[in-house]
A and B are shown apart, each in its own frame.
Chain A
Amino acid sequence: QQPVQSPQAVILREGEDAVINCSSSKALYSVHWYRQKHGEAPVFLMILLKGGEQKGHEKISASFNEKKQQSSLYLTASQLSYSGTYFCGTEKAAGNKLTFGGGTRVLVKP
């Protein structure tokens, strides 16, 4: 079952912060986050594993609440380059396939 992302879209001014949420109804092994620029392929940002291991990217960080099966992506002091569509992907077991959410469109304005 597809994870649910919210919000669907967010507009920011440069330097502002934003949070994107990803929720699943199933128990998860990991949550991935990707960013896709218009007309390009998704690019891996980070993975959050069951048990709390986390990897970061620039001023973007994330958390994973195992009890709620929810992950949040934090865009801190946003830059123009942060614009794009962010997708979470969830994995039910190690080595399993990813199921992607519907995406969150982020636009950072000067």
Chain B
Amino acid sequence: NAGVTQTPKFHILKIGQSMTLQCTQDMNHNYMYWYRQDPGMGLKLIYYSVGAGITDKGEVPNGYNVSRSTTEDFPLRLELAAPSQTSVYFCATKGSGQYLNYGYTFGSGTRLTVV
């Protein structure tokens, strides 16, 4: 049982390049989230999804895109990378129904540097 798996763990991106951060889960959770965490700061929500085919913006969506074609996968796309996107990115999941009042399960994170 892997839980929430994020790849890659580390990446260096050049300004203007694009990349996709992968997040996959094997817990059959409907709710999935992408947060970013800048050094010494809290977590800010980028995008979230309440189920396959449904996504919505969080508080800091500019420069990012997401898709949710399956329950398991929730990739985050960075277009035209900028130095301000240097951060640690966490994917998180939560169950629904009887598991609605449980906490989030986080992936181990992707540490991204844009140079």
Contact = CB atoms under 8 A, between A and B. Distances in A.
A2 interface: yes
19 contacts: A30-B101, A32-B104, A34-B103, A40-B108, A41-B106, A41-B107, A42-B43, A43-B106, A44-B103, A44-B104, A47-B102, A53-B101, A87-B43, A89-B104, A95-B100, A97-B58, A100-B42, A101-B42, A103-B41
Contacts of A94: 100-101
Contacts of A2: 42
B74 interface: no
Interface residues of A, number: 25
A32 B103 contact: yes
Contacts of A84: none
Interface string A53-90: 10000000000000000000000000000000001010
A35 to B, nearest CB: 11
B42 A87 contact: yes
A99 interface: yes
Contacts of A12: none
Interface secondary structure of B, over-half rule:
loop
User: Which among B33, B103, B105 has the greatest number of chain A C-beta atoms within 10 A?
Assistant: B103
B96 interface: yes
Given A95-B31, A97-B58, A102-B41, A41 B100 contact: no
Contact of B33 (A41, A44, A97): A97
A27 interface: no
B42 A103 contact: yes
A41 B77 CA distance: 21
B42 A95 contact: no
A10 interface: no
Interface string B25-40: 0000001010100000
Nearest to B45: A97
B58 A100 contact: no
Given A94-B100, A98-B33, 8 more contacts: A32-B104, A34-B103, A47-B102, A49-B101, A87-B42, A97-B48, A99-B59, A103-B42
